[in-house]
């Protein structure tokens, strides 16, 4: 089995277990990314089979909205509901305290709004996302309004980071978020205090939010391959 097949199997396995935790009559936060995409697919399939009913989703991105429509999951907005029962979302890095870096899909600002509001926030990752310390493998995404890019880059450098503007793939120029902003990815050699860094970066004028999610996750579902078979562990 190729590495790609193995990762897909792990993502499908966690997506399925997360989708199985969605109950009838609930408001569901729909995360962004390739792992959550499987959870959205399986929630849609459970609705279709009648295993659950009366679900409404709150999408965290245009991607989540498109997938929810594809799998016939009714959507609503935060103006129309006063709570979210459960949110399911992926992550780029998860540390032993369940603090995370998110934003690989440039959706972390909306994700943080939705995931933080949920009564239960379930994170779905494959085992490769677990790290001892945040920043080990992934750059920290920072969403910024376009006119504030240069001063924000200087401030991020002063905080000890190495910032770079995220560029599009199959599109010339920078990535533009669903909110019409830009993403600066920052390499920090060691993120020793994620809670403090999250606040410090969000204090820079022009920054909307950064990808540090501290104390937000209730449960992390980790997809692994054990004896050649996909398996899911709770963490
Ligand atoms: C998007 C995110 C994603 O949840 C994160 O990048 C993980 O994605 P994937 O499941 O494709 O690895 O934070 O902004």
Note the pLDDT tens digit of each residue in 119-136.
999 999 999 999 999 999
Let me know whether 50 and 8 are in one domain: yes
CB of 104 shorter than 6 A to ligand 1: yes
With cut-offs at 50, 70 and 90, classify the pLDDT of residue 5: confident
Pocket probe for ligand 1: among 65, 91, 109, 125, the residue whose CB has the most ligand atoms within 8 Å is 91
Position 1 pLDDT exceeds 90: no
Closest listed residue to residue 59, CA positions, set 51, 70, 67, 71:
67
- Helix 34-49 crosses helix 3-20 at what angle (to 10 degrees)? 50
Let me know whether 183 and 74 are in one domain: no
Residue 135 lies in a domain: no
Let me know whether 168 and 63 are in one domain: no
Is 65 annotated as catalytic? no
Closest listed residue to residue 31, CA positions, set 93, 100, 115, 127:
115
With cut-offs at 50, 70 and 90, classify the pLDDT of residue 228: confident
CATH code at position 147: 3.30.70.260
Let me know whether 19 and 115 are in one domain: yes
Let me know whether 12 and 58 are in one domain: yes
Higher pLDDT, 99 or 3: 99
Q: How many domains does the chain have?
A: 2
Q: Do residues 35 and 92 make contact, with C-beta atoms less than 8 angstroms apart?
A: no
Residue 51 lies in a domain: yes
β-bridge mates for residue 230, sequence order: 225
Residue 199 lies in a domain: yes
Between CA 99 and CA 111, with CA 105 as vertex, the angle to 5 degrees is 55
CB of 102 shorter than 6 A to ligand 1: yes
- Give residue 36 CA to ligand 1 midpoint distance, Å: 8
Let me know whether 166 and 85 are in one domain: no
Each residue of 48-92: pLDDT tens digit? 999 999 999 999 999 999 999 999 999 999 999 999 999 999 999
Position 189 pLDDT exceeds 90: no
Whole-angstrom distance, CA of residue 8 vs CA of residue 224: 11
Higher pLDDT, 181 or 235: 181
What is the full DSSP assignment across 45-76? HHHHHTSS-S-EEEESSHHHHHHHHHTT--B-
The active-site residue out of 111, 143, 198, 224 is 111
Let me know whether 107 and 66 are in one domain: yes
Let me know whether 108 and 149 are in one domain: no
- Give residue 45 CA to ligand 1 midpoint distance, Å: 22
Let me know whether 115 and 177 are in one domain: no
Mean pLDDT on 196-223: 98
Overall pTM > 0.85? yes
* Tokens found for residue 126: 């494959």
Let me know whether 81 and 196 are in one domain: no
CB of 90 shorter than 6 A to ligand 1: yes
CATH code at position 25: 3.40.50.1360
End-to-end CA distance of the chain: 26
* Tokens found for residue 119: 């009564």
164: buried, middle or exposed (CB in 10 Å: 19+, 13-18, 0-12)?
A: middle
Q: Which structural domain range is residue 173 located in? A: 140-207
pLDDT score, position 4: 66
Residue 39 lies in a domain: yes
Let me know whether 16 and 126 are in one domain: yes
CB of 210 shorter than 6 A to ligand 1: no
Position 2 pLDDT exceeds 80: no
Let me know whether 147 and 196 are in one domain: yes
pLDDT score, position 190: 79
Each residue of 135-171: pLDDT tens digit? 999 999 999 999 999 999 999 999 999 999 999 999 9
């Amino acid at each position: 089995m190729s590495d790609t097949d193995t990762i897909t199997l792990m993502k499908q396995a966690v997506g399925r277990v997360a989708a199985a935790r969605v109950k009838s009559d609930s408001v569901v936060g729909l995360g962004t990314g390739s792992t959550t995409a499987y959870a959205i697919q399986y929630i849609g399939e459970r609705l279709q089979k009648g295993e659950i009913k009366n679900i409404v989703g709150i999408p965290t991105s245009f991607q989540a909205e498109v997938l929810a429509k594809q799998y016939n999951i009714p959507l609503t907005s935060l103006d129309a509901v006063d709570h979210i029962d459960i949110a399911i979302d992926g992550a780029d890095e998860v540390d032993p305290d369940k603090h995370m870096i998110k934003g690989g899909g440039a959706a972390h600002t909306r994700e943080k709004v939705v995931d933080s509001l949920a009564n239960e926030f379930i994170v779905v990752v494959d085992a490769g996302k677990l790290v001892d310390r945040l920043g080990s493998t992934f750059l920290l995404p920072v969403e910024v309004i376009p006119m504030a890019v240069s001063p924000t880059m200087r401030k991020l450098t002063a905080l000890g980071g190495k910032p770079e503007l995220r560029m599009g793939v199959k599109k010339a120029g920078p990535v533009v978020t669903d909110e019409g902003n830009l993403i600066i990815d920052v390499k920090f050699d060691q993120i020793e205090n994620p809670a403090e860094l999250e606040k410090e970066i969000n204090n820079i004028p022009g920054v909307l939010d950064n990808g540090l999610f501290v104390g937000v996750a209730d449960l992390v579902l980790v997809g692994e391959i054990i004896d050649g078979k996909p398996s899911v562990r709770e963490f």
